[in-house]
Each structure stands twice: as C-alpha cells, then as structure tokens.
A and B are shown apart, each in its own frame.
Chain A
Amino acid sequence: MAKTILIVDDSSSLRTLVKMSLTRAGYDVIEASDGKVALDQIDKAAKVNLVVCDVNMPNMDGITFVGELKKNPRHKFTPVIMLTTEDDSGRMAQAKAAGARAWLLKPFNPPALLDTVSKVITA
C-alpha cells in the first residue's frame, strides 16, 4: 500500500510541483494551503506517513503548525520536512524545537526531495 504524504504550502504551483515529484515516486498525496487547513486534513486522513510543509504561510505558519501537530498524540511521531525559501538559522532552530525532522531549501531538486523523504518517512 502506497504511503501518504501531506503537502502544506500556500502556493498552488509549488504544491503541484511537489505533488508531481512525489506521485511519480509512488506516494499518495493530499494537499493543504496553510497550517490550519493542514491540521484539519491530517485529522480526516486515515494515515499520513509524512508532512512536507512550507514555513511562511497565511493563517497559520509552518512552524506553528508543527508545534500544534506534535501536541496531538496521534501525530506526535509523524515526521515533518520543512520546504522553504527561508535560510535563516533562527527559524531553523525554531523548526527543530517544534519537532521538524529536516529543513529543505527551495528551489529544490526532485531527487533531493525524494532522498530526504525516504530518509525520514515512517513505515
């Protein structure tokens, strides 16, 4: 059974690009346009093996989302990769403290994304 990945990004074009890379590699993908929608989506989904999340988003940013996600025992161990244009070390430290597993810079190469995904995704 294919593993499911939740993509959280306010840019629909970026979601399309990430989805294209992941579906080609055989993953199932669900999408959300910000942190709030993502929390709603992940609760409705049967099983999410990984979250790929932008940082700078309206309504709820990526780092706040990770913090909220980790508060829910059901998703405590769901790994999160931050996929962002930001390269600020302070923000990285915040993401790490919130419970993210990796920080991947945009623009990204699909092989680099898939490599990162394969390293942190849970069974």
Chain B
Amino acid sequence: MRDSSELRQYPVPGRRAATVCWALAVLASALPLLAQLSALALVAPLAVLTLGLIAMQMGRPATSATSATSASTSEPALGTPGGTDTPLPKLLHAVLPEWRLQVTTTRTQIDEAMATLLGSLSSITAQFDAGGFHMGDDGGSSRTSAALSQCEDKLQPVIGTMNHIHDSKATMAAHMGQLTTAASELRTLVDDVARIAQQTNLLAINAAIEAARAGEFGRGFAVVAAEVRRLSQDSAATARHITERIGEITDIMAQASASAVHSAEADAQAIAESGEMVKDVLGMVHQLGQDSENMVANARVIRDDIEHLIIGMQFQDRVNQVMGVLDDDMARLGDALKRDSALPDAASWLQSLRATYTMREQRHTGGSATPTSQRPAAQAEPKAVVFF
C-alpha cells in the first residue's frame, strides 16, 4: 500500500478531471465489449462498479472541467464530500484484483458448464448415430421398411389362399347340382321301365286269354304267358324300388347341395371379412412403415438441430477471449498502478489495449469511437480456413 501522503500529492483538480476523462475513455472503450457480455450478465457488476466509481468522482466539487482548469494545482488530496478519502488509483489498486478474481471465476465456471453441456449433447448425438439416424445413414430406416415389407409379402398370399378354398367349395357345390340333375334323368328312365313292364303285363294277360281259347293246344303258351306276366310284375316292382331309392338319393343330394351352397355362402362371407381384416392389417403395416419413416426423418432433424446447437455454442469461446483481454488489461492496469501512482495516459493506454485485439468484433467495438459510416467499407470476411 502506498503512503497516504504520497497519495495526497496526486489528485490535484486538473489531474482529477483528467482522471475522470481517462476513466470515461477506458469505460467507453470497454463498454461495447461489456455490452457483448452483458447478455450473459457476467460483467454487469463490473460495469455498475465502474459507473459508481465515475459517479463518485463526478460528484466531487472539484471534478468538473471548469474547476479543474481554475483550481489551484496545490490543492491537497482527494478530500471528498461523499465521505471517502480513497483516491481512484488506491481504489483501483484495491478493487482490480477482486474484479479479476470474479471474471476468472466466471470464465472457469462457464467453461466447465459448457464442457458438461457439450458432453451431454455430444452423447445424445452419438446415441442418434448409433440408432442409425445419422444423415446419410439409411440403415435404421431400411431395416424397418424391409421388416414391414416382409409382413406385407407374407400376408398378401393369405387372401389368395382363402379365395382358392372358396373356389374349390363352389366347384363341389356345382358338381352336386349336376348329380341331382343326373338323378332326375334316371327317374325318367325308370318311369319308362315301369311303363314297359305295365305294357308287358297287359300283353301277358292277353296272351293268357288267347292261350285259354286255344284249349289243350295253348296250354304251354299259357305257361309262358304266366311267366312273362310274372317277370313284368317283377320289373314293375324293381322299377318302383329304383324310383324310391332315386327319390331317397335325390333328397339326400338336394340336402347336401343346399348345405354346400349355404356353406359356400358362409365361406364367401367369412373370406370377404378375413380379406378385409388382412387388408386393414396391411394398411396398418403400411401406415406403420410411413410413421417409421417420419420418425426417422424427425429424429434426423433433431440430431442435426443439436449439432447446429453445439456449433453455435462456440460463441462462448469468443466471449471467453474477450473477457480474457479485459482480464489481462485489468492486470496491466494493476501493474501500472504498482509501478507509478499516477494514472497512465488514456490515449496511449487505449492504443495498447486495442493492439491486443485479434478478433473482428473486438476491432469493431473497440474502434467504436470511429462512426460506422467512416470505417473502411470493404473489410472482407476473413477466410474460414487458410492453408500455408
């Protein structure tokens, strides 16, 4: 710490005004940089402290330019009506390490937090990549599509098989109908046989009458006539029997045919319903496939958004650089105050500060004393990569 008498010699009014100007100039230079960072509310306390400091200096009776020029140079140290005897160099000497500590701590905390965040985000993108959602990787999508396509291929023939079964049953029902028709034709033939038997019976009766008339000579013929009559009666009985059996068979076949027709109708309905179900399932499979495609597309969008987010987070590195320059400048100011109790010249200080700027935004904001319209118009965007 400096001797208090030493300090008292320094802040004469003229110098006090210069001090204020110097502080304002440095602040003006730093403000744009501070504005860059203020979004993060990192150095707002610094700005407030600096402004408070300036206000404190400005509030003193002899700090105006007029009093600075008119007042005696032999005026003693900064006696302040604000209740503090601390001159600016002493205050800066005390406060600068604190500011630097705060800035450094904040930079470290932000960097660590960003590293953790980036680690998490990169882990998420890695999981997306493992799931086949990386741009240009069709693996996941094509695997799902292939599985769904296989489902469709396996379900599609089921409808064909059911239709084939239905067609077979319809053919069988048609054959049953043909058999019924054939049985009806047989009944007609049997009727013919019955009629022939009846005529034969009449002929046998007539033959028996004629044999009786012939007397003794017709006795043998009478025997033949009786046999013929018996055969015709047997034929008529057989025809009746066949007619009965055909009737029974026709009834059975009619029932079977009706049953087959009914079954075919029921089958047709069942097959139609099954077909609809299979079509519904295929529709759902198709929808599932589309949903899957959409999901893959959406996942890729999310993954790419995260990647862009990660890239965008590099702003923190630039902010860190700007804060680093501020930190270094505060250290430089601290060293200067240690070497010399007098505050350095503002113009040369600013020149030195600006010489450390290495980024476009620093040069732009740092040179804010020059109006935008007067800056060189053609400050080309620097190349993203330069090979040596």
Contacts and interface: CB of A to CB of B under 8 A. Distances in A.
A91 interface: yes
B324 A105 contact: no
Interface in B74-111: 111
Contacts of A14: 314, 317
A74 to B, nearest CB: 21
A39 interface: no
A16 interface: yes
Interface in A97-116: 100-110, 112, 116
A41 interface: no
Interface string A1-45: 000000000011111110010001000000000000000000000
Contacts of A55: 358
A107 B311 CA distance: 7
Contacts of A103: 385-386, 388
Contacts of A16: 115, 118-119, 122
Nearest to B118: A16
Nearest to A20: B122
B70 to A, nearest CB: 46
A52 interface: no
Interface string A63-79: 00000000000000000
Contacts of B311: 17, 107-110
Contacts of A110: 307, 311
Interface residues of B, number: 34
Contacts of B112: 12
A85 B88 CA distance: 35
A13 B382 contact: no
B85 to A, nearest CB: 38
B310 A24 contact: no
Interface residues of A, number: 34
Nearest to B314: A107
A20 B385 contact: no
B165 interface: no
A95 B317 CA distance: 20
Contact of B115 (A13, A85, A101, A108): A13
A85 B358 contact: yes
B122 A106 contact: no
A86 B126 contact: no
Contacts of A106: 314, 317-318
Contact of A112 (B117, B316, B385): B385
A14 B315 CA distance: 10
Nearest to B386: A103
A58 B307 CA distance: 29
A95 B382 CA distance: 16
B318 A104 contact: no
A110 B309 CA distance: 12
B114 interface: yes
